[in-house]
């Protein structure tokens, strides 16, 4: 089924991309759509990107020390 682009802005963007990469507008649109789908598929969620950091922090042993509330209050300017 053909794609009919009625937006002048989208048409202009397709023409601009086509000119830059030396292909016709249909090929430019195809490439842009493929690239965007690949980008979405390869995107790694923030939670997963932070996994190495979370594991490193979790590996530290518990010190058993109690947090000194006065020390942290002084750091934040609270007295």
46 φ, ψ (degrees, to nearest 5) = -55, -45
- Supply the pLDDT for residue 79: 62
Supply 34's token pair: 């493929």
* Residue 52, H or E segment: helix 51-59
Each of the 79 residues of the chain gets a pLDDT tens digit; together they read: 778 889 999 999 999 999 999 999 999 999 999 999 999 999 999 999 999 999 999 999 988 888 888 888 888 887 6
pTM, two decimal places: 0.58
Helix 8-21 vs helix 25-42: crossing angle, to nearest 10: 90
- Supply the pLDDT for residue 70: 85
Contact of 43 with 53, CB cutoff 8 Å: no
């Amino acid at each position: 089924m053909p794609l009919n682009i009625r937006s002048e802005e989208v048409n202009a963007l397709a023409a601009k991309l086509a000119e830059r990469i030396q292909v016709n507008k249909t090929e430019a649109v195809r490439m842009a759509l493929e690239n965007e789908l690949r980008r979405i598929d390869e995107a790694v969620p923030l939670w997963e990107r932070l996994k190495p950091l979370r594991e490193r922090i979790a590996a530290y042993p518990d010190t058993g020390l109690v947090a000194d509330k006065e020390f942290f209050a002084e750091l934040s300017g609270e007295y």
